[in-house]
Structure 1
Amino acid sequence: MLVNTTATIPICCEVKVHRSICIELQGFIDRILQIILSIESARPNCALAIQTLCSLHFTLDKAKFVIKHCSESSKLYLAITSQKILSRCEKIRISFEFYLDQIQNTVPIQLASVICAILEDLRDTKFSLEYEDGTRKVLHSLLEKEFPDSTSRENSELEAIQIVALMLDMKSSISLLEERKNLKKQIEKVKNTNQKEKELLEYLLYLLIKYEKFI
Protein backbone atom coordinates (compact mmCIF):
# COMPACT_ATOMS: atom_id res chain seq x y z
CA MET A 1 0.00 0.00 0.00
CA LEU A 2 1.34 3.42 -0.92
CA VAL A 3 2.26 5.84 1.81
CA ASN A 4 -0.16 8.77 1.61
CA THR A 5 1.53 11.88 2.96
CA THR A 6 1.31 15.49 1.94
CA ALA A 7 4.33 16.82 0.10
CA THR A 8 5.65 19.91 1.79
CA ILE A 9 8.51 22.28 1.16
CA PRO A 10 9.34 23.46 4.68
CA ILE A 11 12.91 24.50 4.13
CA CYS A 12 12.67 26.16 0.71
CA CYS A 13 11.14 29.29 2.19
CA GLU A 14 14.54 29.84 3.83
CA VAL A 15 16.52 29.39 0.62
CA LYS A 16 18.37 32.60 -0.20
CA VAL A 17 19.42 31.95 -3.81
CA HIS A 18 18.41 29.28 -6.38
CA ARG A 19 14.94 29.09 -4.85
CA SER A 20 13.18 27.84 -8.00
CA ILE A 21 15.73 25.04 -8.42
CA CYS A 22 15.44 24.06 -4.76
CA ILE A 23 11.63 24.05 -4.84
CA GLU A 24 11.70 21.74 -7.85
CA LEU A 25 14.30 19.53 -6.21
CA GLN A 26 12.31 19.42 -2.97
CA GLY A 27 9.26 18.36 -4.95
CA PHE A 28 11.09 15.27 -6.18
CA ILE A 29 12.43 14.55 -2.70
CA ASP A 30 8.90 14.64 -1.29
CA ARG A 31 7.48 12.42 -4.02
CA ILE A 32 10.23 9.84 -3.63
CA LEU A 33 9.92 9.87 0.15
CA GLN A 34 6.19 9.20 -0.25
CA ILE A 35 6.92 5.90 -1.97
CA ILE A 36 10.20 4.86 -0.37
CA LEU A 37 8.53 2.87 2.43
CA SER A 38 6.34 1.14 -0.11
CA ILE A 39 9.40 0.23 -2.15
CA GLU A 40 11.08 -1.18 0.95
CA SER A 41 7.89 -3.03 1.94
CA ALA A 42 7.80 -4.64 -1.51
CA ARG A 43 11.09 -6.28 -0.47
CA PRO A 44 12.87 -6.37 -3.81
CA ASN A 45 14.83 -9.58 -3.39
CA CYS A 46 17.64 -9.21 -5.89
CA ALA A 47 20.98 -7.85 -4.74
CA LEU A 48 21.00 -5.18 -7.45
CA ALA A 49 17.62 -3.79 -6.34
CA ILE A 50 18.73 -3.62 -2.71
CA GLN A 51 21.94 -1.87 -3.69
CA THR A 52 19.98 0.52 -5.91
CA LEU A 53 17.63 1.34 -3.04
CA CYS A 54 20.62 2.22 -0.86
CA SER A 55 21.96 4.44 -3.64
CA LEU A 56 18.57 6.15 -3.89
CA HIS A 57 18.70 6.95 -0.16
CA PHE A 58 22.19 8.36 -0.65
CA THR A 59 20.99 10.55 -3.53
CA LEU A 60 18.10 11.82 -1.41
CA ASP A 61 20.63 12.90 1.21
CA LYS A 62 22.63 14.71 -1.48
CA ALA A 63 19.52 16.54 -2.63
CA LYS A 64 18.63 17.56 0.92
CA PHE A 65 22.17 18.83 1.42
CA VAL A 66 21.92 21.09 -1.65
CA ILE A 67 18.78 22.71 -0.27
CA LYS A 68 20.35 23.06 3.17
CA HIS A 69 23.44 24.61 1.56
CA CYS A 70 21.30 27.13 -0.33
CA SER A 71 19.43 28.07 2.84
CA GLU A 72 22.51 28.60 5.01
CA SER A 73 25.21 29.96 2.71
CA SER A 74 26.11 33.51 1.78
CA LYS A 75 24.09 34.98 -1.08
CA LEU A 76 27.25 36.28 -2.74
CA TYR A 77 28.89 32.88 -2.52
CA LEU A 78 25.81 31.09 -3.85
CA ALA A 79 25.67 33.52 -6.76
CA ILE A 80 29.31 33.14 -7.75
CA THR A 81 29.11 29.33 -7.52
CA SER A 82 25.73 29.07 -9.26
CA GLN A 83 27.03 26.92 -12.12
CA LYS A 84 28.34 24.38 -9.60
CA ILE A 85 24.94 24.26 -7.91
CA LEU A 86 23.23 23.81 -11.26
CA SER A 87 25.60 20.99 -12.20
CA ARG A 88 25.11 19.28 -8.85
CA CYS A 89 21.31 19.40 -9.18
CA GLU A 90 21.49 17.98 -12.69
CA LYS A 91 23.63 15.08 -11.46
CA ILE A 92 21.08 14.43 -8.71
CA ARG A 93 18.23 14.47 -11.24
CA ILE A 94 20.07 11.95 -13.43
CA SER A 95 20.77 9.73 -10.41
CA PHE A 96 17.13 9.80 -9.32
CA GLU A 97 16.12 8.80 -12.83
CA PHE A 98 18.70 6.02 -13.05
CA TYR A 99 17.89 4.41 -9.70
CA LEU A 100 14.11 4.69 -9.98
CA ASP A 101 14.26 3.18 -13.46
CA GLN A 102 16.09 0.17 -12.04
CA ILE A 103 13.69 -0.20 -9.10
CA GLN A 104 10.57 0.16 -11.25
CA ASN A 105 10.83 -3.39 -12.62
CA THR A 106 11.19 -4.99 -9.18
CA VAL A 107 8.01 -3.69 -7.48
CA PRO A 108 4.25 -4.33 -7.86
CA ILE A 109 2.42 -2.77 -10.82
CA GLN A 110 0.60 -0.10 -8.79
CA LEU A 111 3.85 1.15 -7.29
CA ALA A 112 5.62 0.87 -10.64
CA SER A 113 3.03 3.20 -12.19
CA VAL A 114 3.73 5.83 -9.52
CA ILE A 115 7.45 5.52 -10.17
CA CYS A 116 6.77 5.83 -13.89
CA ALA A 117 5.03 9.19 -13.33
CA ILE A 118 7.99 10.47 -11.31
CA LEU A 119 10.38 9.28 -14.01
CA GLU A 120 8.45 11.15 -16.69
CA ASP A 121 8.67 14.38 -14.71
CA LEU A 122 12.37 13.85 -14.00
CA ARG A 123 13.04 13.43 -17.71
CA ASP A 124 11.07 16.58 -18.52
CA THR A 125 12.78 18.70 -15.86
CA LYS A 126 15.43 21.19 -16.89
CA PHE A 127 17.01 23.07 -14.02
CA SER A 128 18.01 26.58 -14.98
CA LEU A 129 19.44 29.75 -13.48
CA GLU A 130 17.47 32.97 -13.43
CA TYR A 131 18.98 36.21 -12.10
CA GLU A 132 21.71 34.13 -10.42
CA ASP A 133 23.62 33.76 -13.67
CA GLY A 134 23.75 37.52 -14.09
CA THR A 135 25.21 37.98 -10.62
CA ARG A 136 27.71 35.19 -11.27
CA LYS A 137 28.92 36.91 -14.44
CA VAL A 138 29.31 40.27 -12.68
CA LEU A 139 31.37 38.74 -9.86
CA HIS A 140 33.45 36.54 -12.16
CA SER A 141 34.21 39.51 -14.39
CA LEU A 142 35.46 41.40 -11.35
CA LEU A 143 37.66 38.50 -10.23
CA GLU A 144 39.19 37.95 -13.66
CA LYS A 145 39.75 41.57 -14.62
CA GLU A 146 43.20 43.16 -14.45
CA PHE A 147 43.31 46.74 -13.22
CA PRO A 148 45.89 49.40 -14.12
CA ASP A 149 45.67 51.02 -10.69
CA SER A 150 43.91 50.90 -7.32
CA THR A 151 41.38 53.57 -8.31
CA SER A 152 40.19 51.52 -11.27
CA ARG A 153 39.94 48.45 -9.05
CA GLU A 154 37.92 50.27 -6.40
CA ASN A 155 35.56 51.78 -8.97
CA SER A 156 34.94 48.35 -10.49
CA GLU A 157 34.48 46.73 -7.09
CA LEU A 158 31.98 49.37 -6.05
CA GLU A 159 30.00 49.07 -9.26
CA ALA A 160 29.97 45.27 -9.05
CA ILE A 161 28.86 45.07 -5.42
CA GLN A 162 26.11 47.63 -6.02
CA ILE A 163 24.75 45.68 -9.00
CA VAL A 164 24.95 42.34 -7.22
CA ALA A 165 23.43 43.65 -3.98
CA LEU A 166 20.47 44.97 -5.94
CA MET A 167 20.00 41.70 -7.84
CA LEU A 168 20.27 39.64 -4.65
CA ASP A 169 17.99 41.94 -2.67
CA MET A 170 20.67 42.91 -0.15
CA LYS A 171 19.75 46.53 0.46
CA SER A 172 18.61 46.61 4.08
CA SER A 173 20.94 46.75 7.05
CA ILE A 174 19.45 43.48 8.32
CA SER A 175 20.13 41.61 5.08
CA LEU A 176 23.68 42.97 4.93
CA LEU A 177 24.30 41.96 8.53
CA GLU A 178 23.01 38.46 7.82
CA GLU A 179 25.25 38.23 4.77
CA ARG A 180 28.33 39.19 6.80
CA LYS A 181 27.47 36.59 9.43
CA ASN A 182 27.02 33.86 6.83
CA LEU A 183 30.31 34.70 5.15
CA LYS A 184 32.13 34.58 8.48
CA LYS A 185 30.54 31.22 9.32
CA GLN A 186 31.60 29.78 5.98
CA ILE A 187 35.14 31.09 6.37
CA GLU A 188 35.34 29.43 9.76
CA LYS A 189 34.16 26.12 8.28
CA VAL A 190 36.72 25.98 5.47
CA LYS A 191 39.69 27.84 6.93
CA ASN A 192 41.65 24.64 7.60
CA THR A 193 40.42 22.55 4.69
CA ASN A 194 40.01 24.66 1.55
CA GLN A 195 42.37 27.59 1.11
CA LYS A 196 41.01 28.60 -2.30
CA GLU A 197 37.44 28.75 -1.06
CA LYS A 198 38.57 30.58 2.07
CA GLU A 199 40.27 33.27 -0.04
CA LEU A 200 37.16 33.69 -2.19
CA LEU A 201 34.92 34.04 0.87
CA GLU A 202 37.33 36.50 2.47
CA TYR A 203 37.33 38.63 -0.67
CA LEU A 204 33.52 38.67 -0.77
CA LEU A 205 33.47 39.70 2.88
CA TYR A 206 36.04 42.40 2.15
CA LEU A 207 33.84 43.80 -0.64
CA LEU A 208 30.81 43.81 1.61
CA ILE A 209 32.54 45.55 4.51
CA LYS A 210 34.42 48.09 2.39
CA TYR A 211 31.47 49.23 0.27
CA GLU A 212 28.53 48.54 2.59
CA LYS A 213 27.71 52.21 3.12
CA PHE A 214 27.41 52.69 -0.65
CA ILE A 215 25.02 49.78 -1.17
Structure 2
Amino acid sequence: MCLELKKFIDRISKILLAIESAPPRCTSGIQALCTLKIAMDKAKLLIQHCSESSKLYMISGIARDLRRTKFPLAPAKEEAGKVILGLLRQAIPVPNSVNDLELEAVQLAASTLEITFPSTVLIEKRSIKRLLDKATDTDPKKKILKWLFYL
Protein backbone atom coordinates (compact mmCIF):
# COMPACT_ATOMS: atom_id res chain seq x y z
CA MET A 1 0.00 0.00 0.00
CA CYS A 2 2.83 2.39 0.87
CA LEU A 3 4.53 1.62 -2.44
CA GLU A 4 1.35 2.40 -4.38
CA LEU A 5 0.97 5.69 -2.49
CA LYS A 6 4.61 6.54 -3.25
CA LYS A 7 4.12 5.90 -6.98
CA PHE A 8 0.99 8.07 -6.93
CA ILE A 9 2.82 10.90 -5.14
CA ASP A 10 5.73 10.73 -7.58
CA ARG A 11 3.35 11.02 -10.56
CA ILE A 12 1.47 13.94 -9.00
CA SER A 13 4.76 15.67 -8.12
CA LYS A 14 5.85 15.61 -11.76
CA ILE A 15 2.50 16.99 -12.90
CA LEU A 16 2.51 19.56 -10.10
CA LEU A 17 5.89 20.91 -11.20
CA ALA A 18 4.60 21.39 -14.74
CA ILE A 19 1.45 23.14 -13.50
CA GLU A 20 3.40 25.43 -11.13
CA SER A 21 5.70 26.55 -13.93
CA ALA A 22 2.73 27.66 -16.08
CA PRO A 23 1.34 31.15 -15.43
CA PRO A 24 -1.67 31.05 -13.08
CA ARG A 25 -5.09 31.74 -14.59
CA CYS A 26 -7.23 32.35 -11.49
CA THR A 27 -7.13 32.50 -7.70
CA SER A 28 -9.17 29.33 -7.26
CA GLY A 29 -6.56 27.45 -9.32
CA ILE A 30 -3.79 28.80 -7.10
CA GLN A 31 -5.72 27.75 -3.98
CA ALA A 32 -6.27 24.28 -5.45
CA LEU A 33 -2.54 24.00 -6.17
CA CYS A 34 -1.69 25.07 -2.61
CA THR A 35 -4.12 22.53 -1.18
CA LEU A 36 -2.66 19.83 -3.43
CA LYS A 37 0.87 20.78 -2.37
CA ILE A 38 -0.07 20.55 1.33
CA ALA A 39 -1.74 17.16 0.76
CA MET A 40 1.38 15.95 -1.07
CA ASP A 41 3.63 17.01 1.80
CA LYS A 42 1.38 15.17 4.28
CA ALA A 43 1.44 12.07 2.08
CA LYS A 44 5.25 12.20 1.89
CA LEU A 45 5.44 12.38 5.69
CA LEU A 46 3.05 9.43 5.92
CA ILE A 47 5.22 7.40 3.55
CA GLN A 48 8.34 8.28 5.54
CA HIS A 49 6.59 7.18 8.74
CA CYS A 50 5.44 3.94 7.07
CA SER A 51 8.94 3.12 5.85
CA GLU A 52 10.45 3.73 9.29
CA SER A 53 7.74 1.64 10.93
CA SER A 54 8.29 -1.15 8.40
CA LYS A 55 12.00 -1.21 9.20
CA LEU A 56 11.30 -1.36 12.93
CA TYR A 57 8.76 -4.11 12.33
CA MET A 58 11.30 -6.10 10.31
CA ILE A 59 13.99 -5.61 12.97
CA SER A 60 11.63 -6.75 15.72
CA GLY A 61 10.75 -9.81 13.61
CA ILE A 62 14.43 -10.68 13.20
CA ALA A 63 15.02 -10.26 16.94
CA ARG A 64 12.01 -12.49 17.69
CA ASP A 65 13.32 -15.16 15.28
CA LEU A 66 16.77 -15.03 16.88
CA ARG A 67 15.26 -15.51 20.34
CA ARG A 68 13.51 -18.67 19.15
CA THR A 69 16.54 -20.06 17.33
CA LYS A 70 18.55 -22.78 19.02
CA PHE A 71 22.21 -22.99 18.07
CA PRO A 72 23.28 -26.61 18.55
CA LEU A 73 26.76 -27.35 19.83
CA ALA A 74 28.97 -29.98 18.34
CA PRO A 75 29.03 -33.06 20.61
CA ALA A 76 32.73 -32.57 21.38
CA LYS A 77 32.19 -28.96 22.42
CA GLU A 78 29.19 -29.93 24.51
CA GLU A 79 31.31 -32.56 26.26
CA ALA A 80 34.04 -30.00 26.92
CA GLY A 81 31.45 -27.73 28.51
CA LYS A 82 30.22 -30.59 30.70
CA VAL A 83 33.78 -31.28 31.89
CA ILE A 84 34.28 -27.64 32.91
CA LEU A 85 30.85 -27.51 34.56
CA GLY A 86 31.67 -30.70 36.45
CA LEU A 87 34.85 -29.11 37.78
CA LEU A 88 32.97 -25.99 38.77
CA ARG A 89 30.29 -27.98 40.60
CA GLN A 90 32.85 -29.95 42.65
CA ALA A 91 34.36 -26.96 44.31
CA ILE A 92 36.15 -23.93 43.06
CA PRO A 93 39.67 -23.85 44.45
CA VAL A 94 41.42 -20.74 45.60
CA PRO A 95 42.99 -18.89 42.65
CA ASN A 96 46.57 -19.93 41.86
CA SER A 97 46.00 -23.42 43.34
CA VAL A 98 44.95 -25.75 40.54
CA ASN A 99 45.72 -29.46 40.76
CA ASP A 100 46.98 -31.51 37.82
CA LEU A 101 43.66 -33.25 37.19
CA GLU A 102 41.81 -29.94 36.92
CA LEU A 103 44.50 -28.50 34.68
CA GLU A 104 44.38 -31.56 32.42
CA ALA A 105 40.58 -31.33 32.15
CA VAL A 106 40.73 -27.64 31.29
CA GLN A 107 43.48 -28.27 28.71
CA LEU A 108 41.34 -30.98 27.12
CA ALA A 109 38.35 -28.63 27.04
CA ALA A 110 40.49 -25.82 25.60
CA SER A 111 41.81 -28.01 22.79
CA THR A 112 38.29 -29.25 22.03
CA LEU A 113 37.06 -25.66 21.90
CA GLU A 114 40.06 -24.79 19.69
CA ILE A 115 41.62 -22.44 22.24
CA THR A 116 45.14 -23.63 21.50
CA PHE A 117 46.95 -20.69 19.97
CA PRO A 118 48.36 -17.92 22.15
CA SER A 119 46.18 -15.39 20.34
CA THR A 120 42.96 -17.29 21.12
CA VAL A 121 44.03 -17.77 24.74
CA LEU A 122 44.67 -14.02 24.96
CA ILE A 123 41.23 -13.27 23.51
CA GLU A 124 39.59 -15.56 26.08
CA LYS A 125 41.58 -14.02 28.95
CA ARG A 126 40.56 -10.53 27.85
CA SER A 127 36.93 -11.60 27.71
CA ILE A 128 37.15 -13.08 31.19
CA LYS A 129 38.90 -9.93 32.45
CA ARG A 130 36.07 -7.75 31.06
CA LEU A 131 33.50 -9.97 32.75
CA LEU A 132 35.49 -9.77 36.00
CA ASP A 133 35.51 -5.98 35.81
CA LYS A 134 31.72 -5.93 35.37
CA ALA A 135 31.02 -8.43 38.17
CA THR A 136 30.24 -7.12 41.64
CA ASP A 137 32.00 -8.39 44.76
CA THR A 138 28.87 -10.25 45.86
CA ASP A 139 28.36 -11.89 42.46
CA PRO A 140 28.92 -15.68 42.70
CA LYS A 141 30.19 -15.66 39.11
CA LYS A 142 33.20 -13.60 40.18
CA LYS A 143 34.78 -16.57 41.98
CA ILE A 144 34.32 -18.78 38.90
CA LEU A 145 35.73 -16.10 36.61
CA LYS A 146 38.79 -15.66 38.84
CA TRP A 147 39.35 -19.41 38.80
CA LEU A 148 39.12 -19.51 35.00
CA PHE A 149 41.31 -16.42 34.64
CA TYR A 150 44.18 -17.91 36.64
CA LEU A 151 44.19 -21.21 34.73
TM-score norm. by structure 1 comes to 0.36
* Pair member with larger Rg: 2
